Amino acid sequence: MSNLSVSDVFHPVKTNLFRAFILLSTLAVLFSMGAMAQEGRQEVSVQGTGFFTKDSNNNGINQRATDSGGFLIGYRYHLNRWLAAETAYGYARNTQQFSVPVGGFGIQSDVHQATGGVILNIPHAAKWRINPYVLAEGGALIFNPTSNGNGFGPGVDSQAKGVFVYGGGADYSLSRHFLLRAEYRGLVYKTPDFGLAALHTDATTHTAQPSAGIVFRF
């Protein structure tokens, strides 16, 4: 019988996602030097984020996650004036705190976010320097336990949860190539239990992820 675990499956993902997105961003910038015909269609963004998760309660288990911050890196390609495709990678670290009949403890984990979807640009006057948009994406959140915290121990494993992302934001043009971005993303997904049946709530939770950062358009 195979000994393959969830952590074996996602270990390459959690260690290489960040490098992959940095490489993608670098290649995109280099490509822009020889892609003048496509100028203005592509964007690379870097944003600082908050990560605020709603408490959940089910199966006799109370679960809450500590508030934290992180970052979000994105690549966006404008198909036309109204529609764009986006892929994004986000990172945060928080602690899932469980209250069960026999007591309570917490599991700290790195949270990797990998999503892709569509952006709908909202019509606005051409003279505006503010460009609003809405978004809808799907992907995964990967919860990777750290070695910190009293809750870390045997049986605690990495876990991936499917996520639906909705939200919107606005870009403010500083120049032809640089913009400021303010954005809100709402993440809807099943709460993690790290492979422990005793912590399984089967509850759906919501994370609010406000962010702000810089965009390079080329």
Task: Measure the CA dihedral 71/105/186/92, to 10°.
Answer: 10
**pLDDT higher than threshold 60 for residue 28:** no
Of the two residues 76 and 128, the one the predictor is more confident about is 76
- Please state which architecture CATH assigns to domain 6-217: Beta Barrel (2.40)
- The sign of the dihedral angle between the CA atoms of 19, 23, 26, 28 is negative
Instruction: Please give the backbone phi and psi of residue 129, each rounded to the nearest 5 degrees, phi first.
Output: -95, -5
> Burial level of 190, CB count in 10 A (0-12/13-18/19+)?
middle
Domain regions of the chain by residue span = 6-217
Nearest CA to 89 among 134, 141, 54, 26?
141
Average pLDDT, the chain: 85
Q: Do the Cβ atoms of 124 and 131 come closer than 8 Å? A: yes
**pLDDT higher than threshold 70 for residue 33:** no
Determine the Cα–Cα distance for residues 35 and 173; give it in Å rounded to an integer.
Answer: 21
* pLDDT cut 70: percent of the chain above it: 79
Q: What is the pLDDT of residues 108-141, one digit of tens each?
A: 999 999 999 999 999 877 677 899 999 999 999 9
Local structure of residue 59 (DSSP, 8 states): T
